[in-house]
Structure 1
Amino acid sequence: MDLTFAGADGIIILSVFAVVMLLIGYLSGRGDKNLHQSLSGYYLAGRNLGFIALFFTLYATQYSGNTIVGYAPAAYRTGFSWLQSISFMTIIIGIYLLFAPRLYVIAKRKNFVTPTDWIQHRFNSKAVTLLSIFLMLWGLGNYLLEQLVAIGQAVSGMTGGTVPYQIAVLVFIFVMLAYEWMGGMKAVAFTDVMQGLILMVGIIVFLIGGLYLVGGNFGDVTRYINEMEPVKTAVPAMDVSINWFSMLVLVGLGASIYPHAVQRIYSAQSEKTLKKSFSRMAWMPPITTGLVFVIGIIGIMLYPGLDKGGSETIVGLMANDIAAINPFFYWIMIIFFGGIVAAIVSTADSVLLSFSSMLSNDVYGKFINPGASEHKKVMVGKIGGIIAVFLLLWIAWNPPGTLYEIFVLKFELLVQVFPAFVLGLYWKRLDKRSVFWGMLIGAVLAGFLTFTGHKTVYGIHGGVIGLTLNFLICVAGSLLVPVSKKSMVIEDEPMSLDVKA
């Protein structure tokens, strides 16, 4: 994403964003005595996020600067079949609505802090809880790694290489740790509002600039691609369609149970606020991912013949050309790419916050020192999060594969928690023994396929194959094995906290 036009101006804009994020962190924590004394205060913003903050923090959870940096190159390489990116972002919202309102009601009554609080409450099983903790931490660790890689690439590219990759990662990790330490979830949510607005406006201006470069007629782009690279406009082959459906399942189910996404459900001010935020989120896939898809397609005409590595630079190439149009586009591009960096950092802080909450509440609080005070748990989570970040840094120095490949990797194991998490909300008979073995066998199979190079089998992702077996074991085991009433710990929770419901 090298931006040869940016240089010193890029450093200035990035410095401004860094200062603003630190200021948000300071103001978020100032005068709030409860923030650092309680788990819900630090990790859930006191369960008091209003509509605007909740909407943008959900938006930042689902979309990152990586949406632009990673998805446009994928559209360039794949062609029109990358329309799937819009559909799998849309299906995530549908899955949220399947379980989020009911989970919110139970979490509100039981004061849940982390996703596995629900798992423990539902199944009352150390084995199921520990396995779900491991799989969720795996997903978070991979996602955090992805963001660390993206931070370094984005800052280094935006400054024209003036700021080296490693220095970029270290500086913005320090900024992220500082404002998150000061303000917790409140700081994360308010920085999400800032980056979300810049990201939305910037994508639209970026697309306008891209269309200008190709003469303002998208029809010319499609005709060019159809003539020069017809495979990218052709009806997808059967294996591509199967892979598309597999991706819908993998991402739709996996992303909906991101631990940091689930904690945003817990953080809502009310059930009405939660539903209103999700209803607005339903419009975001075409507005965000859809426009990024078009940007990638335009790149096929502007920069033909790029190999896989070259395609990863397409956003930077286009930004350089757009910035050269006139001074307005020049400054918009600099601010936009500063916003991309802020968006990546903002996504990383959400992941880190959730990671540290699980270390403090789930690992330390449930199994190491159950009698610890909430203040001590918060401190353990803060310090544990810092250690985890620096353990991941040595991987980030030599990032494995493209950002998209890292993106897919994390879902293969995380998605195995879905049957326990969501099926457990509605099916009382779901047995903890079947859940444990289904989750374990599904994860082992998915991990084996992924790490032995069989990421897909006939177009189906290893994680989906493992999930299918997981579901079968859960359902068949629960139906075949007698279940005592004592093991059915889920109670008849009301479906809504709203008065009119």
Structure 2
Amino acid sequence: MEQNCKTDMLTGHYLGGRSFGPLLIAGTIFASIFSGYTVIGVPNESYRRGFYGFRWLTSSPYINYGFICTGVRLRKASLVRNYSTSVDFITDRFRSQLLRYTILAIQVMGSIIYVAAQVNALQSTFNSMFGIPIASAWPVICIFTIILAFEWAGGLAAVAMSDSIQGLVMVVSFCCIPFVILKNYGGWHNLDPITYAKPEFYQTPSKEDQWSFWQFSLINVCFFSLPHLVRAIERFLAAMMILTIRHLEDATIVRSPRPFFSKVGPWLASLPGVFIGTVGVQMLYDAGVENPPSPFTAIIEQLLSWGGFPEVVGIIALTASLAAIMSTADSLIIAISQLITVEVIWPLKPDASQSQLTWLARGSSFVAVVIALVTGILWKSGVSALTAINFPVVMQAVPAYINGLYGSTETQRLHPWSLAMGASAGIIYTFSFFFGYIFHNTEAKPVDTGITGVLLNVFVSVLAEFLVFDRSKFMQLVTRKKIKSDDDEKSPSIPVQTPVWDVPNTKRFGESNLTVSLLNAMMEGFPEPIRSPAYNAMFLLSVSIITPLIAEGQPVISEATNEWVSLPPTVLGIPWWFFKQILLSILPYAALLKIIWDMPNEYPFNEEKIDSSGMDPALLELTAQEMNFRSSYDAPNESIARRRSTLSSKLEAIGISKSQLDNAKTLREEHALEYIPKEQRLSSIIKQEAIEASGVAVKDESKEPQEMLQLKNFQPQ
């Protein structure tokens, strides 16, 4: 891409030249979300905690709902404002270095913890797989060296392609393993609660487990703020539509039926994991294996011992387990490297060449891998504990994104220092509460540090806003009147202004500031479910419905005889309450499918309104060619600046002023739109200039019929 002048070096390395299609995007997102914890962690958790592992499947709708609610708006802002990192939106929206680097620290910290979890999972799996002592670190070091080489050599392009292959291997193995076990050993319907090795799995979950189940589903909304997934939002609509096929027939886009991998994925990955873990309990018990360090590996070893096709599936499954861990690790590593390079190194060395920055980027990848390796190797409490601290950390960035993305007026945007204080308080609380109370405390109450941490985060942000940075909001809340005394510098109605050193460079985003009105104008005509109280209430209600809210510990197992007082009711061999939760979980998935089905294939471009009422030049999207070249750290994009300036001139020429644009005043009658040829209308000019900016060859007008040239040169009287 660099040799063909299709991208600069950094954009090519970190964003693959923004050239991925929906299949490749779907593959890399699938492999990144359904990570090593899905392949190994869900079976292992189900082996140790039974059908409680089902929580990973039920939380997936809220992961995707978070993506949809924030992703469509972040993607549109990225197309208009030319974002390249997950922090660019925060920088552009709030114009504060303090908040910018607070969110950056949260995302880097969460990503390194996530990589450390992959290190821990890879070490236990690989070593168990090949009979190497669990404490031995050299295999995982060698594997991460390979991952680092992939990232150094090919950047995101290599990562995305390898992710897609790894995701395919994982899907194939997880589709085959349950059928192999069912054929050669038996399934849930063959298990007998009386002779089952862990009969307590058939009991209803404890109150603590039910409370943790609900909180876990809720906190997974924060997935969208993981930096390796925020980068995918750059091509978000293609990813959510996954395999939308468009046919051009008579210049009309026809939408064909869409397979939704993002919704089918959990059923292909998480539910088989619960099956493998719970049936594996009896398999290993019958084989005389007790408390294996990696239950998943021990279960697959049983498949290998059966020979034939089960052995082939077992080999694929072992490969898939390694591939899944590697796919998440490489996505995280390149995300960390991009954040550090673009947000820290490049501002410190603005005159560095692209080649120098790329080598510095590789150095940052190396440092991130070393930190993650040391953390993961020294961590002895397993992957679950790392996951338990990772999501609460990442959750502390969510309030800043939500506050910046949505709001009816600009006054509802909190002061950036208020948000920075809230996020800092949330992070301090998260680590203190987790390691001071929950970690290694068997008597700890089921309190999710992420949920309580984000509540503290919001409380501190609002309190700082009311008492320090913008006291007029508190006065308005108390008096319910808008204070109008902006001329008085000492008036509490004037928000505290940030000092000069806190203002970042923002020329690369465009000449205008990113306001809530500009964001709303970008999304005009596009359905956003987060703005629907019905959808939000429905998803919150479904979190509670899917949670098994039932009497705990039923039916009872006698402590004296260790036998059932009454046999547990089952459906198709599984506990009745688990079967009920499977059926109830279909509801949010169906609602999510409906939301995605109703989403347009592209952002609206209302030609009729543009031709009659004009278009704010600040809303013009950059082409892929324009986004792929960044000459320096904060250089404005000359191509889009020229196109926006041209549009402003054309609007002035036809008499559409900025105030009329702001008021959305229709000027159809004044400009006699019906007498203007389509080729000379504003919408056609905008499209043509976008084509030219994309570098696409323009048709030679000298070869067109004379009638067409006359039509294009026609001027309305």
Equivalent residue for 2:201, pick from 202, 217, 232: 232
**Residue of structure 2 in register with 1:219 after alignment:** 189
Deviation at 1:312, TM superposition (A): 4.1
**Structure 1 residues 30 and 194 mapped into 2: Cα distance closer, same or farther (>3 Å)?**
farther
Residue 45 of structure 2 is aligned to residue 74 of structure 1? yes
TM-score normalised by length of structure 1: 0.85
Deviates more, 1:194-203 or 1:149-158: 149-158
**Residue of structure 2 in register with 1:42 after alignment:** 13
**Residue of structure 2 in register with 1:423 after alignment:** 403
Residue 379 of structure 2 is aligned to residue 399 of structure 1? yes
Percentage of matched positions with identical amino acids: 21
Instruction: Give the alignment of 1:330-349 within 5 angstroms.
Output: 330-349=311-330
**Residue of structure 2 in register with 1:58 after alignment:** 29
Residue 451 of structure 2 is aligned to residue 464 of structure 1? yes
Deviation at 1:315, TM superposition (A): 1.1
**Structure 1 residues 77 and 336 mapped into 2: Cα distance closer, same or farther (>3 Å)?**
closer
Residue 227 of structure 2 is aligned to residue 259 of structure 1? yes
Q: Is the 8 A contact 1:446 1:463 kept in 2?
A: yes
Residue 362 of structure 2 is aligned to residue 382 of structure 1? yes
**Structure 1 residues 31 and 275 mapped into 2: Cα distance closer, same or farther (>3 Å)?**
same
Deviation at 1:110, TM superposition (A): 1.6
Q: Alpha-carbon deviations, 1:366-420, whole Å to 9, x = none?
A: 4x23444444333222111112212333333333311111122212211100110
Residue 72 of structure 2 is aligned to residue 101 of structure 1? yes
CA distance in 1, matches of 2:119, 2:151: 16
Where relative contact order (Cα < 8 A, 6+ residues apart) is larger, the structure is 1
**Structure 1 residues 375 and 117 mapped into 2: Cα distance closer, same or farther (>3 Å)?**
farther
**Structure 1 residues 309 and 346 mapped into 2: Cα distance closer, same or farther (>3 Å)?**
farther
Deviates more, 1:281-290 or 1:148-157: 148-157
Matched letter for residue 213 of structure 2: W
Q: Which runs of 5+ in 2 are unaligned?
A: 244-259, 474-493, 499-512, 527-601, 607-717
Classify the secondary structure of the residue corresponding to 2:84: coil
CA distance in 1, matches of 2:404, 2:300: 47
Equivalent residue for 1:282, pick from 248, 263, 267: 263
**Structure 1 residues 335 and 452 mapped into 2: Cα distance closer, same or farther (>3 Å)?**
same
RMSD of the TM alignment (CA)?
3.0
CA distance in 2, matches of 1:290, 1:476: 43
Residue 184 of structure 2 is aligned to residue 201 of structure 1? no
Deviation at 1:255, TM superposition (A): 2.1
Q: Is the 8 A contact 1:415 1:463 kept in 2?
A: yes
Matched letter for residue 245 of structure 1: W
**Residue of structure 2 in register with 1:121 after alignment:** 92
Q: Alpha-carbon deviations, 1:314-367, whole Å to 9, x = none?
A: 11121111122232221222133123212211211100000000110112224x
**Residue of structure 2 in register with 1:7 after alignment:** none
Matched letter for residue 290 of structure 1: L
Equivalent residue for 1:318, pick from 295, 299, 303: 299
**Structure 1 residues 235 and 274 mapped into 2: Cα distance closer, same or farther (>3 Å)?**
same
CA distance in 1, matches of 2:404, 2:342: 21
Matched letter for residue 54 of structure 1: I
Q: Is the 8 A contact 1:240 1:459 kept in 2?
A: yes
**Residue of structure 1 in register with 2:678 after alignment:** none
Deviation at 1:159, TM superposition (A): 2.7
CA distance in 1, matches of 2:195, 2:263: 31
Q: Alpha-carbon deviations, 1:155-208, whole Å to 9, x = none?
A: 333333399942322222222122211211111110011111110010121122
**Residue of structure 2 in register with 1:446 after alignment:** 430
Deviation at 1:228, TM superposition (A): 5.5
Equivalent residue for 1:176, pick from 147, 159, 163: 147
Deviation at 1:139, TM superposition (A): 0.5
**Residue of structure 1 in register with 2:310 after alignment:** 329
Residue 278 of structure 2 is aligned to residue 297 of structure 1? yes
**Structure 1 residues 305 and 211 mapped into 2: Cα distance closer, same or farther (>3 Å)?**
closer
Q: Alpha-carbon deviations, 1:444-495, whole Å to 9, x = none?
A: 1111101213259631212211111112334565577347699985341312
Residue 214 of structure 2 is aligned to residue 245 of structure 1? yes
Q: Is the 8 A contact 1:211 1:298 kept in 2?
A: no
**Residue of structure 1 in register with 2:619 after alignment:** none
Matched letter for residue 92 of structure 1: I
Matched letter for residue 430 of structure 1: R
**Residue of structure 2 in register with 1:145 after alignment:** 116
Q: How many residues are treated as equivalent by the alignment?
A: 465
Equivalent residue for 1:473, pick from 433, 443, 460: 460
CA distance in 2, matches of 1:309, 1:96: 41
Deviates more, 1:475-484 or 1:335-344: 475-484
CA distance in 2, matches of 1:45, 1:164: 37
Equivalent residue for 1:437, pick from 421, 424, 428: 421
Q: Is the 8 A contact 2:2 2:9 kept in 1?
A: no
Q: Which runs of 5+ in 1 are unaligned?
A: 1-28
Deviates more, 1:444-453 or 1:489-498: 489-498
Matched letter for residue 344 of structure 1: I
TM-score normalised by length of structure 2: 0.60
**Structure 1 residues 239 and 157 mapped into 2: Cα distance closer, same or farther (>3 Å)?**
closer
Deviation at 1:151, TM superposition (A): 2.6
Residue 515 of structure 2 is aligned to residue 490 of structure 1? yes
Deviation at 1:310, TM superposition (A): 2.4
CA distance in 1, matches of 2:137, 2:268: 33
Q: Is the 8 A contact 1:430 1:475 kept in 2?
A: no
Deviates more, 1:171-180 or 1:256-265: 171-180
Matched letter for residue 215 of structure 2: S
CA distance in 2, matches of 1:416, 1:425: 16
Classify the secondary structure of the residue corresponding to 1:446: helix
CA distance in 2, matches of 1:161, 1:354: 31
Deviation at 1:213, TM superposition (A): 4.5
CA distance in 2, matches of 1:312, 1:286: 26
